Amino acid sequence: MLAEKSKPQPITADDGVNAGSRHPRLSLVPAKLESRQWAHHGFPQVQKVLRERFCHQQLPEEPEGVEAQHKHLLELLKRTAIHGESNSLLIVGPRGAGKTMLLKCVLRDLLQDKEVQKNLLQVHLNGLLQTDDRIALKEITRQLHLENAVGDKVFGSFAENLAFLLEALKKGDRSSSRPVLFVLDEFDLFAHHKNQTLLYNLFDVSQSAQTPIAVVGVTCRLDVLELLEKRVKSRFSHRQIHLLSSLTVTQYLRLVGTQLSLPDEFPDAKFAQEWNSSIETLCADKSVEEVLQRHFNASKDFRSMHMLLMLCLSRVSVAKPVIQPADLQEASRLCLADAKANMLHGLSILELCLIIAMKHLNDVYEGEPFNLQMVHNEFKKFLQRKSNSMYNFNQPVVRKAFEHLQQLELIRPVEGSSAKTQSEYQLMRLMLDHSQIMEALQKYPQCPTDVKQWAMSAFG
Amino acid sequence: MTTLLQHPGYEEGRLQKVAELLPCREVQAGMLLSLMGEPQQYSYPSIFIYGHRASGKSHVMHVLLKELELPHATVSCVECVSVVLLFEHVLRSFFGSDAASLLPCSPSLSDFVRVYRQQCSQSPAKETRYIVMEKAELLRDTDANVLPALLRLQELVEDNVTVILLSEIVWDKFRPNTGCFEPLVLNFPDYSKGELQQILSRDRHPSYSAEFYSSYINILLGVFYSVCRDLRELRHLAALNFSKFCEPVEEGKVKETDTHKLWRNIEPHLKKAMQTVYLREVSSLQWEQMQQMEEKETGILRGLSAHTHVELPYYSKFLLIAAYLASYNPARTDKRFFLKHHGKIRKTNFLKKNEKTSNHLLGPKPFPLDRLLAIFYSVVDSRVAPTASIFSQISSLVTLQLLAQVSHDDQLDAPKYKCAVSMDFICAISRTVNFDIVKYLYDFL
């Protein structure tokens, strides 16, 4: 509402839109009054359902837009689980593209089969947790509940462990032993292990007629095959599933709508209906479309969308049980805010003056690094030109301000060795953009005019 | 004021108490509360909060979690020198002290997640658990996998847990190479001048009126605001200087309402405080003692930087002077400065001032040992034999960090040095041996 008021908009196109967005609000007022009780019952439910979707990455009923990949993966894993075929495969896609979601959906569908459920063993590894082969091996033996694992402790050295595991895997054959599914999350990190022993052994088992295993790697690196050693690469089946988002804007908008709407099995059907219709009108709003278009242009993964919607959802309360276009605009503003500009806003005048001096030094000497002495000298030049200088600080105070800027990492030393040179002669680089400084200056509260003038002037 | 903090999941009275404890941070607290949701609902896996020092990041988190009695673990990354301490602390505060003992002797992240899951299955979370990491910028210096793993901890341990990172540094500087789970980034804006005044005026002295104290804060901000916006620093300064401010009132010279006279009394005092106690030249204890001794003018006591004066042997002083001259003068001017009969050099030619930036801006230049000794023999009047003691004095100047050895390639053969003392220091040294160093410096010609 506020945003609509504050923004003078062209009357012609927006009249209809505003009327459209106002409509649900008007209709909701009596609804809210009439049924206080459902607001109290229904409202926490909405939060619960939607939070599980946005924060907990709850699995959807049907993975959208990846039907082909889903089918492919399901077929492949079924062949391992039922027919005892060994396979290896990589799921590749950018962050937040739904790789884990796809895999989990497939596993859920796969496990509905009674036979598979009885038969299949699963081992989940994550490159972030299992940082070397020893830890990974312990984890595998633990998750497979092998005999030498007593309780949760695993005994034996690395070599013993590996030999044991390999023997256990080799003893099996296609017909008799249970298939094992290895899921390697953050697969690229496994490629950084020493000699890639684990990968070599897993792929080797999958290539030879031993226990049927399926190795599924999940990674966000497109060049992951280049990381593999030759012998490991040759044992890999080179089967890849690419999850590259091919969303269009209209699909994106529709997806936002479905993400926000409540499912059919929501306990309070009446509330769900009203909520869903309010979401529909929200998505039809022109300003909302604009905001979403901007987000779509920045990135089209699920995670950033969820973050945006989560921020929207947090603005919904019992008193205001509907998402309004202004909420979305506010959330988008939060998401797209420039962090460095926010930090510049909180600097003191002295620190701001130092940054302007650095900017001038950068302009004059074309990006050469500078030290505290030069910056202070530049600042003093500014003070000399002004008759009534109230910023006549002495060197230690200036140095304290300079060090604060360094702590905030707005300036960064050129080379690391700080002990060797005196602090005032250490060369620094400014980590800010020209435009960022000027913008921050415009927004700075009660910025003195002469400082502004100084920043505007081309050369010191 | 309190209307901003409303949430169905929490009791009204508690929220009111929280609101009282968080002046000027209602908006942020309300936003955090609404993001956290009701205790039993899921919250976003990781939240990153940035803002300037003393903008209430830790305080808001602490008050919210404590007053609303949510299960939480607050970890300062400064204290956790190794991640093991972090694991132990988190497990202990969520599952009691026995949980931490389940960790093996040198646990990896994998062990931590395993123990966490195991404990979690025994006592599943009824409410969202929070891990608050203060000074999160230090996480970047630990193993590369710690930060990404913490950001997706909710997914890894399959528990209703939220990791909150607090830092002064913006999120862009945290992102690892291959990316990670993006946290929800929130900003705590700086306090405006009015807000600072409001917060500082809260801790007033009971024996004086509120207006009196707030006028004092006004004067204090007038002096310090352009330099410092750190609430903690300002509060410290306010506490230190208040006794001086009310001195005239206590003596009965000035009435409480006479702001102008009070200002005239305190302003030079505060300006002096900026030079001394703000820079920690003089400790706060010394500052308080100085205020009590009235006849003694403040600032007579020498600060820390005045103590940098070092007693050196006679030749060491000259060696240091020679090193300073060698560092800050270009080598081509040595002949002119240090040779007695250097022949005619045209002054205009010599004073080539086309190098605009002086060496006192760029810092000291390295010089070889030979040049140091040549200048040394020139500036010392008497004949000095190049004994072992002269050379050992050079190396002891290096250990005192008055000189710095630049290249480590050779210890004996032609080592290079840099002079690492300031202008004031060398002037003081040369005054003790009656040597006018400014006359020999190219920059000041």
Average pLDDT estimate for B199-206: 88
Contact A51 B37 (CB under 8 A): yes
Q: Are residues B169 and B297 in the same domain?
A: no
| A97: pLDDT strictly greater than 70 | yes
B75 and B111 in contact (C-beta within 8 Å)? no
Domain membership of residue B214 as a residue range: 193-306
Of residues B348 and A28, the one with the higher pLDDT is: B348
* Chain B positions in Cβ-Cβ contact with residue A100 (cut-off 8 Å): 155
Closest residue, chain B, to A425 (C-alpha): B363
**Gap between the Cα atoms of B366 and B377, Å rounded:** 19
* Chain A positions in Cβ-Cβ contact with residue B361 (cut-off 8 Å): 371, 373-374, 377
Q: Nearest 5°: phi and psi at A185?
A: -80, 150
Contact B41 A44 (CB under 8 A): yes
* Chain A positions in Cβ-Cβ contact with residue B186 (cut-off 8 Å): 334
Annotate A322-351 with b (16+ C-beta within 10 A) or e (fewer). bbbbbbbbbbbebbeeebbbbbbbbbbbbb
Mean pLDDT of chain A: 83
SS3 assignment, position B48: strand
Q: Are residues B301 and B318 in the same domain?
A: no
Considering only the beta carbons, identify the residue of A129, A220, A348 that sits closest to B113. A129
| A32: pLDDT strictly greater than 90 | no
Contact A55 B156 (CB under 8 A): no
The topology under which CATH files domain A67-242 is Rossmann fold (3.40.50)
Closest residue, chain A, to B274 (C-alpha): A397
CATH number, domain with residue B333? 1.10.10
Q: How many domains does chain B have?
A: 3
Q: For testing the chain B interface, which of A316, A348, A371 should be mutated: the one with the most B CBs within 10 Å?
A: A348
Name the pLDDT band for B343 (thresholds 50, 70, 90). low
**Gap between the Cα atoms of B124 and B159, Å rounded:** 8
pLDDT digits (tens, 9 = 90+) for A35-82: 444 455 567 788 888 888 888 888 887 777 888 999 999 999 999 888
Considering only the beta carbons, identify the residue of A55, A377, A421 that sits closest to B43. A55
Closest residue, chain A, to B154 (C-alpha): A56
Q: Are residues B408 and B326 in the same domain?
A: yes
Kindly report the nearest CA distance between residue B226 and chain A, in angstroms. 5
Q: Are residues B219 and B81 in the same domain?
A: no
Q: Is residue B116 part of a domain?
A: yes
Nearest residue to A91 (alpha-carbon basis) of A303, A301, A244, A243: A243
Considering only the beta carbons, identify the residue of A40, A128, A347 that sits closest to B145. A128
Rounded (10°) angle between helices A302-313 and A249-260: 50
Average pLDDT estimate for A387-410: 86
- A259 Cβ contact list (under 8 Å, min separation 6): A53, A54, A305, A306, A309
* Chain A positions in Cβ-Cβ contact with residue B190 (cut-off 8 Å): 345-346
Q: Which of A33-42, A222-231, A280-289, B12-21 has the lowest mean pLDDT?
A: A33-42
Closest residue, chain B, to A49 (C-alpha): B41
pLDDT at site B296: 54
Nearest residue to B113 (alpha-carbon basis) of B142, B136, B146: B146
Q: Are residues B159 and B115 in the same domain?
A: yes
Q: Are residues B236 and B379 in the same domain?
A: no
Contact B154 A420 (CB under 8 A): no
Contact A47 B148 (CB under 8 A): no
**Gap between the Cα atoms of A328 and A2, Å rounded:** 12
The topology under which CATH files domain A341-456 is Arc Repressor Mutant, subunit A (1.10.10)
SS3 assignment, position A81: helix
Nearest residue to A346 (alpha-carbon basis) of B364, B229, B365, B71: B229
| B388: pLDDT strictly greater than 70 | yes
Average pLDDT estimate for B417-429: 90
Considering only the beta carbons, identify the residue of B31, B178, B187 that sits closest to A337. B187
Q: What is the pTM of this model?
A: 0.88
Q: Is residue B410 part of a domain?
A: yes
Closest residue, chain A, to B145 (C-alpha): A128
**Gap between the Cα atoms of B213 and B256, Å rounded:** 10
Average pLDDT estimate for B8-18: 84
Q: Is residue B113 part of a domain?
A: yes
Kindly report the nearest CA distance between residue A10 and chain B, in angstroms. 32
pLDDT at site B166: 96
Q: Is residue B344 part of a domain?
A: no
pLDDT at site A11: 37
Considering only the beta carbons, identify the residue of B31, B45, B275 that sits closest to A55. B45
Q: Are residues B207 and B127 in the same domain?
A: no
A197, A203, A204, A210 alpha-carbon torsion, rounded to 10°: 130
The proportion of chain B whose per-residue pLDDT surpasses 90, expressed as a percent, equals 43
| A174: pLDDT strictly greater than 70 | no
Q: Which of B157, B187, B217 is the last residue of a domain?
A: B187
Domain locations in chain A?
A: 67-242, 249-337, 341-456
pLDDT at site A42: 65
Kindly report the nearest CA distance between residue A148 and chain B, in angstroms. 18
Considering only the beta carbons, identify the residue of B41, B113, B118 that sits closest to A47. B41
**Gap between the Cα atoms of B431 and B357, Å rounded:** 27
Average pLDDT estimate for B203-227: 89
Kindly report the nearest CA distance between residue B206 and chain A, in angstroms. 31
Mean pLDDT of chain B: 86
Residue ranges of E strands in A337-442:
411-413, 428-430
Q: Is residue B346 part of a domain?
A: no
pLDDT at site A176: 73
Q: Is residue B364 part of a domain?
A: yes
SS3 assignment, position B95: helix
Considering only the beta carbons, identify the residue of B118, B169, B362 that sits closest to A408. B169
Name the pLDDT band for B424 (thresholds 50, 70, 90). confident
Q: Are residues B299 and B321 in the same domain?
A: no
* Chain A positions in Cβ-Cβ contact with residue B9 (cut-off 8 Å): 44
Contact A421 B363 (CB under 8 A): yes
Closest residue, chain B, to A94 (C-alpha): B179
| A129: pLDDT strictly greater than 90 | yes
Contact B143 A340 (CB under 8 A): no
Contact A348 B185 (CB under 8 A): no
What letter does residue A206 receive in the DSSP assignment?
A: H
Q: Tell me how many residue pairs between chain A and chain B have CB atoms under 8 A apart.
A: 174
Considering only the beta carbons, identify the residue of A220, A317, A425 that sits closest to B363. A425
Contact A373 B363 (CB under 8 A): yes
Q: Which of B125, B154, B187 is the last residue of a domain?
A: B187
A231, A234, A239, A240 alpha-carbon torsion, rounded to 10°: 50
Kindly report the nearest CA distance between residue A50 and chain B, in angstroms. 9
Residue B377's DSSP bridge partners are none
Q: Is residue B349 part of a domain?
A: no
Q: Are residues B253 and B129 in the same domain?
A: no
Q: Which of B122, B152, B187 is the last residue of a domain?
A: B187
Name the pLDDT band for B4 (thresholds 50, 70, 90). low
pLDDT at site B256: 83
pLDDT at site B48: 96
Contacts of A270-275 spanning 24+ positions with Cβ under 8 A? A270/A38, A271/A38, A271/A41, A271/A42, A271/A45, A271/A46, A272/A42, A274/A28, A274/A31, A275/A42, A275/A46, A275/A321, A275/A322
Q: For testing the chain A interface, which of B50, B174, B178 should be mutated: the one with the most A CBs within 10 Å?
A: B178
Q: Are residues B78 and B209 in the same domain?
A: no
Contact A397 B227 (CB under 8 A): yes
Closest residue, chain B, to A371 (C-alpha): B362
Q: Are residues B36 and B134 in the same domain?
A: yes
